[in-house]
């Protein structure tokens, strides 16, 4: 017999994520994954390691030319990544 208080799977998953306090970590993963979408495959090909820790996005770049270009665009990149996340996830970007 089926219970009358059925919920959609999406609602159940959202509730579980909220209860387990995983929302922020999932947004951090989204920010890192949106790097290639935002900057394109060419720039992403020069990127070796991207991670977010305590509001700071660390990005390892293999080309000094690309690194200098990204340093000049740092604030624009930060604001666009935060906009994609829908929250102020990144306070600062560090290029290595």
> How many Å apart are CA 87 and CA 68, to the nearest integer?
27
What are the structural domain ranges in the chain? 22-95
Dump pLDDT digits (tens) for 7-63: 788 888 878 777 777 777 777 777 888 888 888 889 889 998 888 888 899 999 999
- Residues of 37-63 as b/e, b for ≥16 C-beta within 10 angstroms? eebeeebeebbeebebeeeebebebee
Q: What is the CATH number of domain 22-95?
A: 3.30.300
pLDDT (tens digit per residue) in 39-49: 888 988 999 88
């Amino acid at each position: 017999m089926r219970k009358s208080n059925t919920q959609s799977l999406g609602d159940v998953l959202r509730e579980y994520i909220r209860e387990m306090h995983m929302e922020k970590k999932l947004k951090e993963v989204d920010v890192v994954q949106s790097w290639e979408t935002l900057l394109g495959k060419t720039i992403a090909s020069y990127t070796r390691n991207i991670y977010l820790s305590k509001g700071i996005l660390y990005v390892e770049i293999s080309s000094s030319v690309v690194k200098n270009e990204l340093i000049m665009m740092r604030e624009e990149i930060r604001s666009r990544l935060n906009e994609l996340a829908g929250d102020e996830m990144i306070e600062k970007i560090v290029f290595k």
